[in-house]
C-alpha cells in the first residue's frame, strides 16, 4: 500500500507521507492518539488523506485561532474524543518595550529558530505594530519566556496570553493577472515576482524557493491552482486561478501577492 500511496505525492513529500502513514497505523492499531508538530496546510491535507486511506482514524487539527495556517494534528482512533488541551498549544505575546523599530515576520521567526527550535514547534506568527503574537507548542513555552530576549536589534520580552487575547494577523493580497507559456514553476515564479526567467533558475536550484512550504529545486515542477510559492527575499504569492489559453497558446494565471 505504501508504494501505491507514494505515487500520488511529489518526490519531496514522500518522507513526510511515510511518517504520517506510520502515525496513522499506530493510532489505529494501538487505539491511542498520535500528535504531530505544527504542519503547513499542504501537510494537514496529506495527513487527513492518509487517515482516510488507513481507515478507523480520526483527524483533529488546531492552530490556536480560527483561520490558522499552521496547525498541529492529532491522529486518533475514530471513537476518540480529545480533551480541550490535548493538542498542547500555548499563546504568547512578544513585546518590544520602549523600542521604536519596525520588525517583520522574518525577524521574529529568525529569532525563534535562532534559539535552536525546530519549525514544527512554532505555529502562526501575527505581527502587530508593536510586537508579535504567536501560537507555539506548550512544551516550549517556558523555554521561550526564559531565552527569547532579542529580535533583530530590539530587546523583547515574552508574556503568556489567553487564547481569546490572540490578535489574528491581517492578511492582504495584491492581485495580478498575467499569461505564461507553461505552468512550470520557473515560468510562474518569474512572472509572479517580476523577474527575468533567466534570473529565477539559479535561486530555485540554490534552494531559495518553496512550493507549498516545501523547498523545490527542480525548475520544471508544475504549478496548480491554490499553490503557494515563496522566494527568499522576494515574498510569497498564492496562485488564485488558472484560466484558459490565449490565441497564442499562453495560459492565463491570476495570483495574489501577500502584503
Structural domain ending residue among the three candidates 23, 43, 77: 77
- Asked if residue 119 is part of any domain, the answer here is yes
CA–CA dist 116, 101 (Å, integer): 25
- Asked if residue 212 is part of any domain, the answer here is yes
Model confidence at 224, pLDDT cuts 50, 70, 90, reads: very high
Verify that 131 and 115 share a domain, yes or no. Answer: yes
Structural domain ending residue among the three candidates 113, 137, 165: 165
- Asked if residue 83 is part of any domain, the answer here is no
- Asked if residue 84 is part of any domain, the answer here is no
Sequence-distant (6+) residues with CB within 8 A of 208 are: 231, 232, 233
Rounded mean pLDDT, 150-178:
93
How many residues are present in the chain?
Answer: 259
**Residue 119: CATH number of its domain:** 3.30.70.330
Model confidence at 7, pLDDT cuts 50, 70, 90, reads: low
**Residue 17: CATH number of its domain:** 3.30.1370.160
Verify that 30 and 106 share a domain, yes or no. Answer: no
Worst-scoring range by mean pLDDT, 9-23, 37-51, 131-145, 194-208? 9-23
Verify that 249 and 204 share a domain, yes or no. Answer: yes
Residue 95's domain comprises 89-165
Please report which residue ranges of the chain form alpha helices under DSSP H: 2-6, 14-30, 41-54, 105-113, 141-147, 185-192, 201-205
Do 96 and 111 touch, CB atoms closer than 8 A? no
Structural domain ending residue among the three candidates 16, 51, 77: 77
Amino acid at each position: 500500500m505504501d508504494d501505491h500511496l507514494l505515487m500520488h505525492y511529489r518526490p519531496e513529500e514522500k518522507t513526510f507521507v511515510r511518517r504520517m502513514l506510520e502515525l496513522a497505523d499506530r493510532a489505529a492499531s494501538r487505539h491511542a492518539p498520535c500528535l504531530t508538530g505544527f504542519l503547513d496546510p499542504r501537510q494537514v491535507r496529506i495527513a487527513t488523506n492518509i487517515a482516510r486511506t488507513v481507515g478507523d482514524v480520526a483527524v483533529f487539527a488546531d492552530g490556536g485561532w480560527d483561520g490558522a495556517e499552521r496547525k498541529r494534528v492529532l491522529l486518533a482512533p475514530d471513537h476518540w474524543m480529545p480533551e480541550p488541551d490535548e493538542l498542547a498549544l500555548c499563546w504568547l505575546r512578544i513585546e518590544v518595550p520602549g523600542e521604536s523599530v519596525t520588525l517583520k515576520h522574518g525577524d521574529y521567526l529568525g529569532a525563534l529558530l535562532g534559539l535552536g527550535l525546530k519549525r514544527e514547534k512554532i505555529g502562526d506568527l501575527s505581527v502587530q505594530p508593536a510586537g508579535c503574537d504567536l501560537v507555539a507548542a506548550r512544551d516550549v513555552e517556558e523555554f521561550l519566556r526564559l531565552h527569547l530576549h532579542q529580535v533583530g536589534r530590539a530587546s523583547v520580552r515574552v508574556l503568556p496570553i489567553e487564547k481569546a487575547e490572540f490578535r489574528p494577523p491581517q492578511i492582504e493580497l495584491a492581485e495580478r493577472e498575467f499569461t505564461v507559456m507553461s505552468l512550470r514553476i520557473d515560468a510562474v515564479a518569474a512572472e509572479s515576482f517580476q523577474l527575468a526567467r533567466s534570473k529565477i533558475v539559479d535561486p530555485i536550484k540554490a534552494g531559495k524557493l518553496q512550493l507549498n512550504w516545501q523547498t523545490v529545486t527542480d525548475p520544471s515542477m508544475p504549478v496548480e491552482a491554490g499553490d503557494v510559492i515563496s522566494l527568499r527575499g522576494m515574498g510569497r504569492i498564492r496562485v488564485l486561478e488558472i484560466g484558459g489559453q490565449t490565441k497564442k497558446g499562453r495560459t492565463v494565471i491570476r495570483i495574489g501577492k501577500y502584503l
